Amino acid sequence: MRRLTTRRPGIRRLAVITALASLTLGLTAVAHADEPDLTVTGRAVDAAGNGIAKISVYAISDADLQELESEPDEEEWDDEDYFEDWEIVHIKTAPSGRFTSTDGRWTTGDWHFAFVDERRVDAPFAVTEVERVLGSPSTDIGEVALRPGAVINGTLRTAVTGKVVPWAEVVRSTTVSLFDDLSDVDSTYTSSKGAFRYTGLEAGVHRLWVGFDEEWDYPTTPSARIRLTEGQVVDATVTTTIPCRTSFTATPAKGKVTFKVIASGSDYGVPATRGSVKITSGTKGITTITMPSQGGTATKVVAQGAGKRTYTATYSGGDCRPWKAGRTITVR
């Protein structure tokens, strides 16, 4: 397991435009003394040429994009004043798909645009990016055709018993490692029936990680790897182990030891865990306890000679994440 310690993304064009633009939306437009306000127009359309309403259009000047791609240090990133000079503009398209913006942030020169369908329940379109050169006093960037987005309809189940896992976080990314580049990362939660949904996805390979706690504690490898084509709808079952509530006790009595093991997923709505616990003392195997299909608690009494010894319990093969615990006792 590895703990995610920061949500600061590595700089990438799409992440800059979409994830960070909200930091500037409340700022007063900056007037440029060397040129008048510019007017920028355009239209978002589907493959048939029909206008698309309520599409977010984010734009950033090439100069600011190059500055952002230089990777500001942590101190600059945490300073809200650092963002105040960015040339980021946010516009919503009208019912016709058109937008018009006269904004003091516009400047002549190269700009990067991202068209983002931000509907929460169902986003039919993937993000579309274009580059345009803006002139004075106005520029129409033309019709921009949005690509149909792919969809993942998922169900999260436990690895062995196949029970649905409710209220878990499913993190999606196109990066090979979730921890090396956070520029294209988003997340959702499973429903009470273990269902989750991602829409408006770009074609390519999407990886899914599963997390359960508030510490962003995720496996170093993804739970699923799904290749999508443009507009494809995929029904996917993703399996995972869960961070069970665990306990191991060894209670001595005359000539015997009572071993009690708990490996319960009930805290995460998963009563069935199964798997087995191998109990050893040094290099010697003592016994193996098979976990029940319900309840997550098992007890076994084993004859043992007198003396002080350390027992180790190792769990594997079930719905719980593998774990190990030890106890040192003295048998009479």
Where do the structural domains in the chain lie, given as residue ranges?
A: 2-145, 150-240, 245-331
Q: What is the mean pLDDT of the chain?
A: 84
pLDDT band, residue 35 (cuts 50/70/90): low
Asked if domains 150-240 and 245-331 share a fold, the reply is: yes
More confident residue, 256 or 212: 256
The answer to whether 35 touches 108, Cβ cutoff 8 Å, is yes
Question: Dmax of the chain from CA atoms?
Answer: 94
User: Using CA atoms, how far apart are residues 157 and 160, in angstroms rounded to an integer?
Assistant: 9
Does the structure show a pLDDT above 80 at 21?
A: no
Fold of 150-240: Immunoglobulin-like (2.60.40)
What sign has the CA pseudo-torsion 184, 188, 193, 195? negative
Convert the pLDDT of each residue in 296-323 to its tens digit. Answer: 899 999 999 999 999 999 999 999 999 9
Does the structure show a pLDDT above 80 at 247?
A: yes
Location of structure tokens 């040429």: 49
The answer to whether 205 touches 174, Cβ cutoff 8 Å, is yes
Please give the full DSSP string across 85-132, using - where no structure is assigned.
Answer: T--EEEEE--TTSEEEEEETT--SEEEEEEEE---SS---B--EEEEE
pLDDT band, residue 271 (cuts 50/70/90): confident
pLDDT at 57: 95
- Return the closest-CA partner of residue 38 out of 144, 143, 133, 142: 133
**245-331 maps to CATH 2.60.40.150:** yes
> What CATH number matches the domain at 2-145, 1.10.287.1400, 3.30.420.40, 2.30.30.100, 2.60.40.10?
2.60.40.10
Convert the pLDDT of each residue in 193-246 to its tens digit. Answer: 999 999 999 999 999 999 887 555 677 789 999 999 999 999 999 999 988 989
pTM value is 0.77
pLDDT at 66: 83
pLDDT at 86: 59
The mean pLDDT value for 60-69 works out to 83
Question: In what helix (H) or strand (E) does residue 198 lie, and over which residues does it extend?
Answer: strand 195-201
pLDDT at 221: 83
